[in-house]
């Protein structure tokens, strides 16, 4: 497969930020009387927005107040600003895309502020993506809706069918499929839910590069 553009999810694909977010969420759930370990929390909430997490948690009887989302985000931003690792092979993959003349963008359910907080810690990546960040939350159509990936493709001037999506969550991969894009699962977490979608799933960026013919 040789795409004209590659669209990356952010958390769990470019940066290893999800453990920080889920640890904080587990702390919050415990404080509010519904303790979960990280595995259960990821299985329950991965791939959604923080507002969606709050809504789902409330249906489970968790007493998150009306200002919980804003408070959670402020605490999360502060923790993410301290140190978030880049996944191995990300910069090398971007180098290969640049060499091949393949464009790329980032499509996340998180806010652009969140993407900037994590990605700007890695200047070699940030300088290449800071003009092509797209937020499903800000579009008011978070994944699994395809809007964020369709918006990214339109901004790059590439037909959806010529795009490849790399995402780590089932909801994100469903968004890529719904957009009519070649969708690749990056197994930074649970592999089985991605395999169940019938898409190629890889554990490393090197494997993804090979799959893309780079």
Contact criterion met (CB below 8 Å) for 98 and 125: no
The residue extents of the domains of the chain are 5-16+84-211, 18-80
Residue 10 has pLDDT above 90, yes or no: yes
User: Which architecture does CATH list for 5-16+84-211?
Assistant: 3-Layer(aba) Sandwich (3.40)
pLDDT tens-place string over residues 53-84: 888 889 888 888 889 888 988 888 899 999 99
Tokens at 62, concatenated: 């968790």
Band (pLDDT 50/70/90 cuts) for residue 184 is very high
Can you tell me which residue has the tokens 């995402």? Answer: 167
Task: Give CB contacts under 8 A, 24+ apart, made by 74-82.
Answer: 75/24, 76/20, 76/21, 76/24, 76/50, 76/114, 77/113, 77/114, 77/117, 79/20, 79/24, 80/17, 80/20, 80/21, 80/114, 80/117, 80/118, 81/117
What pLDDT shows up at residue 47? 67
Topology of domain 18-80, per CATH? DNA polymerase; domain 1 (1.10.150)
pLDDT at 125: 97
State mean pLDDT over 148-155: 98
Task: Give 178's pLDDT tier (boundaries 50, 70, 90).
Answer: very high
pLDDT digits (tens, 9 = 90+) for 89-144: 999 999 999 999 999 999 999 999 999 999 999 999 999 999 999 999 999 999 99
Q: What global pTM score does this model have?
A: 0.88
The pLDDT of residue 161: 97
55 Cβ contact partners less than 8 Å away, ≥ 6 residues apart: none
């Amino acid at each position: 497969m040789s795409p004209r553009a590659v669209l990356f999810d952010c958390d769990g694909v470019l940066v290893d930020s999800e453990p920080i977010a889920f640890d904080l969420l587990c702390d919050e759930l415990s404080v509010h009387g519904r303790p979960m370990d990280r595995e259960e929390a990821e299985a329950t909430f991965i791939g959604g927005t923080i507002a969606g997490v709050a809504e789902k948690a409330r249906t489970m009887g968790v007493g998150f107040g009306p200002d919980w989302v804003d408070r959670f985000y402020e605490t999360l931003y502060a923790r993410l600003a301290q140190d978030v690792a880049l996944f191995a092979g990300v910069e090398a993959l971007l180098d290969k895309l640049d060499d091949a003349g393949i464009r790329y963008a980032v499509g996340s359910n998180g806010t652009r502020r969140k993407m900037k907080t994590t990605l700007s810690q890695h200047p070699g990546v940030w300088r290449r993506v800071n003009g092509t960040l797209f937020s499903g939350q800000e579009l008011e159509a978070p994944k699994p809706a395809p809007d964020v990936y369709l918006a990214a493709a339109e901004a790059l001037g590439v037909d959806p069918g010529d795009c490849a999506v790399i995402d780590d969550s089932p909801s994100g991969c469903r968004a890529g499929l719904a957009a009519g894009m070649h969708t690749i699962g990056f197994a930074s977490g649970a592999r089985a839910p991605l395999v169940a979608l019938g898409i190629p799933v890889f554990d490393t960026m090197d494997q993804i590069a090979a799959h893309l013919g780079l």
